[in-house]
Amino acid sequence: MKLYDRDLSWLSFNYRVLMEAMDDSVPLLERLRFTAIYSSNLDEFFRVRVANIRNIKQIDKKKINKRVDFDAKTQLEQIHSEVSHQLNEYGGVLRDVIEKLKDNGHHICTDTNEIPEKLRPQLLHFFKTRVAAFLKPIEVQAHEELFLNNQAIYLVVVSESDELYVLNIPAEDVGRFSSHSYDNKHFYLFLDDVIRIHLDIIFPKQKIKGSYAIKLNKDADLQIDDEFEGNLVRKIEKQIQKRNLGIPSRFLFDKAIDDKALSILAEKLTLSPEDMITGGRYHNLNDFFEIRIDNPELTYENRETIEVPELQKCHSIFSCIERQDFLLHFPYQSYDYILQFFNEAAIDPDVKEINVTFYRMAKNSLIGEALISAAKNGKKVAVFMEVKARFDEKNNLEWASKMKEAGVKIIYSLPGLKVHAKVALVKKEDRMYGFFGTGNLNEKTSEIYCDYGLLTINESMTRELSNLFQHLLTKYTPPPFKELIVSQFGALETFQSKIDREIQHAEAGKEARIIIKVNNLQETSLIQKLYEASKRGVDVKLIVRSICCLIPNKNLKVKRIVDRYLEHGRIFYFHNDDAQEIYLGSADWMNRNLHRRIEVCFPIHNEGMKQEILTILKYQWKDDIKGVWLSQKMKNKRAKAESKIRAQEATYEYLLNKGKET
């Protein structure tokens, strides 16, 4: 069975993001933001994936098969080749967007020569009062070794006498862009250039020959030797502090820099040739998110969130849930109902206990505040806090500490596992109320991620969820899960058996169908089952946003959708001889999700809700505006514009009309 490389597949996804920046039908400021998303994604890819491959390559050959070392080397070469090709296109896309913004009166200056002379006095004042205090020039030749902060951007300043200085660009302290208006036009200047035009003030005794941007990415994965011994939280805290000391994974430099200066920097930073990546005049282009332009013609149309009439009319959200289940679609429908769920739980005198899992908390989490209030109001509140969520470790630890001080019981990460489930349980004396989600309990990401949340009092589902929380809190061994599909408790085998059942139906001449919508598809045994099912008569449809190791063929097509919102909800549909089973959940079909995490997938029992999900899946499968087909070489192949359906717009209209009908 041939599989596509995971990392090259991810690069194919990131190129699909870049395609949105290329699309003239996307509003200009949104196109600029897609270039920022592309840049941010690629940055993290080098900090994590490329760094891990480099680590494998550098392992002592005595400890590994030589083939592994060779494969790692080949894989790095393939990655760098593809990234180089994409970055060439990226530069052209960015120039096009910047030029068109200029036509609309918004000038993003990409050279000091583009700065109007009449702005220079303002910039001098800005430099002297806001910027200069944060500058820390370092004379390179005066140091045996050079230390650069991870992801930070610097200018390499070269004097006419070939002295080298590294000068920090304090974007975190000042902001990356300085904005000014002049002659009915708006100008946005990189902080890099504000510093460049004042180098004579910083180096009054030097004649400056040139200045060039550099940036160093370092391995950002936490290296915890043994999660089973000692204090895991303490180990994570120490590793967060050491993240800035990781080994280099990519050194970006301005292609205009001279070879001599580059050679000195490589020696001082102990860089190998494969660390060195040629870049442009500016780095960290994810900072384009900072540019704010108040012009509705340059952004997506503002959409009001859709109200759920039954929930709007209810005095108590719990009384509503007692009457019926609610399936919420974010960001189309308001996340306020989830905030109301937790806020009401915090003050309802009948609520005795609240259990929640967190993977990525919002920085200013209203849910976290509600749980603190609940604990202070005498409720028994227990939170499972995953402190190994990459790049959110610090925020999660801070929230855990804050809630613990308020009396919330905090259970931290399990050794060897991550808890990625998105669930909550509110207990009263006589019943339990469950929240089951596909996305994080995070009101910030709920604005831009397409996810699902189910509110229910279904007894069997809430009982099994209670058993899972008991397992997380006390290591209690729960009885077999029959309603929920829980990784670490037979999830892989359950999915395999459901695929096998569809194969049996197909061979018996019955209608057999599988629809899988995930972010990532990598798990080998499930891919093998999907190949088998498609060959033996099962109609298999796959919607995979990002990594897809399955290679499509004429019987097995894969659709990828990238649009205004990030497609994040996971859906698993099995026709089951017309009994139609649908599960939603947090689990991608990845090795990590099914083998090294605790995930929860939950059934949808209500027939009306099933039809909602099937309607949305139909829109996504037919999307020929933002949907592309993956080719056998993992290229993004535009669909023929036949149905002219844009899934996210169709979903919004569908839910809006459904709400009006109700």
Please name every residue paired with 419 in a beta bridge, in sequence order, or none if there are none. Answer: 598
Distance CA 57, CA 368 (A): 42
What is the C-alpha end-to-end distance of the chain, expressed in Å?
Answer: 49
Angle between helix 66-103 and 28-45 (nearest 10): 160
CA-closest candidate to residue 383, choices 481, 455, 397:
397
| Half-sphere CA count of 108, side-chain side, radius 13 A | 23
Pairing mode, strands 627-630 and 557-561: antiparallel
Q: Give the CA angle between residues 118, 119, 121 to the nearest 5°.
A: 90
Q: Which amino acid is at 167?
A: L
What value does the CA radius of gyration of the chain take, rounded to a whole number of Å?
A: 27
CA-closest candidate to residue 546, choices 572, 571, 518, 527:
518
Question: In this structure, how many other beta carbons lie within 10 angstroms of the beta carbon of residue 32?
Answer: 25
Distance CA 319, CA 324 (A): 9
Backbone angles phi, psi at 524, to 5 degrees: -65, -45
248-278 exposure pattern, b = at least 16 Cβ within 10 A, e = fewer: bbbbbbbeebeeebbebbbebbebeebbebe
For 494, the enclosing helix (H) or strand (E) is helix 491-507
Report DSSP state, residue 274: G
Please name every residue paired with 542 in a beta bridge, in sequence order, or none if there are none. Answer: 516, 558
CA-closest candidate to residue 170, choices 209, 133, 218:
133
Distance CA 367, CA 360 (A): 12
**Burial class (CB within 10 angstroms; exposed 0-12, middle 13-18, buried 19+) of 56:** middle
Compute CA distances 359 → 386, 399, 479, 505, 624, whole Å.
Answer: 5, 12, 25, 38, 34
Angle between helix 51-58 and 66-103 (nearest 10): 160
Distance CA 199, CA 193 (A): 10
398 Cβ contact partners less than 8 Å away, ≥ 6 residues apart: none
Cis peptide before 248 (omega within 30 of 0): no
Catalytic residue among 420, 505, 568, 575: 420
Retrieve residue 490's tokens. Answer: 């037979």
Compute CA distances 493 → 465, 569, 629, whole Å.
Answer: 20, 22, 29
Contact 202/135 with Cβ under 8 angstroms?
yes
Write down the residue that tokens 């790095």 correspond to.
Answer: 76
Contact 469/356 with Cβ under 8 angstroms?
no
Backbone angles phi, psi at 52, to 5 degrees: -65, -40
Q: Which amino acid is at 26?
A: V
Positive/negative CA dihedral, 342, 348, 350, 352: positive
**Burial class (CB within 10 angstroms; exposed 0-12, middle 13-18, buried 19+) of 145:** exposed
Q: Would you call 420 a catalytic residue per the annotation?
A: yes
Active site residues: 420
